[in-house]
Amino acid sequence: MALAEMLAVVPAGSDEEALLRRIDFARLPRHVAIIMDGNGRWAASRHLPRVEGHRAGIEAVRSAVESSARLGIPVLTLYAFSVENWKRPDTEVSALMGLLKHYLRLELKSLLRNNIRFKAIGRLERLSEDIRIELREAEARTAANTGMLFNIALSYGGRAEIVDAARQLIREGIAAEDVDESAFAARLYTADQPDPDLLIRTSGELRVSNFLLWQIAYAEIWVTDALWPDFRTRHLLEAIVDYQRRERRYGAITAATAGVGKA
């Protein structure tokens, strides 16, 4: 049981425990997507090089993955490297790739122990061969896991993903009248996955930054001022509690708004 499993790892009497007790485990988001932002600012505020912010961000990745799996969230997607990030200085790009490689090697055991299935999404062909080997290895070794699906978005762009889906439809020779939303969604990198119910962004920016553009059509957005390296289980629990307080209407009129003239 997710509550018991989580209570076993949070300190008694902590904020985390109080938040956990407010969560309705029957209404968890099916998919949580996170824009990890603020590593550079975290490092700058400590007079450290940017790469130290990314290094510290790995601890937050570990915490988000383990807590989401323990909570029983079916799908977690982390935005680790965007198509735009290729424009950063070579030294920063190679440091990020080095950290990714290190993370994959070190965390594979933990993914296996926690029954987590791993998947990389994005224009992966732009990544170097050694990284692609590590990614394929992690995907293959976790393919039979039945717990949480952990997507890592790498060399990822929402518009690029939509273009790739359109190209795929054309390649398959699908007739124009057969192209509908489900045919399109089935060609996205996230085919067969539920759309994110909850989109989290750190470091206070109010942007979606080309992340899962198609899939976040109805996602609830939760933004925290915390910088990514400071993101911990408490923030994830706060986001879920807030998500569960909101009324989701998908553009429809509900009992609460009917008769008030709002849609």
Residue numbers at the binding site for ligand FPP (CB under 6 A): 36-41, 54, 57-58, 61, 80, 85, 96, 99-100, 103, 228
Spatial CB neighbours of 24, under 8 Å, sequence gap ≥ 6:
244
CA–CA dist 100, 150 (Å, integer): 14
Closest distance between ligand FPP and the C-beta of residue 210, in Å?
13
Closest CB to ligand FPP among residues 27, 207: 207
Closest CB to ligand FPP among residues 103, 243: 103
Q: What's CA 88's distance to the chain center, in Å? A: 22
Closest distance between ligand FPP and the C-beta of residue 234, in Å?
18
Closest CB to ligand FPP among residues 58, 241: 58
Closest distance between ligand FPP and the C-beta of residue 182, in Å?
31
Closest distance between ligand FPP and the C-beta of residue 230, in Å?
12
**Cα separation values, 35 from 93, 199, 207, 217, Å:** 18, 8, 9, 16
Closest CB to ligand FPP among residues 6, 83: 83
| Rg over CA atoms, the chain | 19
What residues act catalytically? Answer: 37, 85
Q: Which residue is nearest to ligand FPP (CB)?
A: 40
- Match 């109010």 to its residue by tokens: 206
What is the number of other CB atoms lying within 10 angstroms of the CB of residue 89? 9
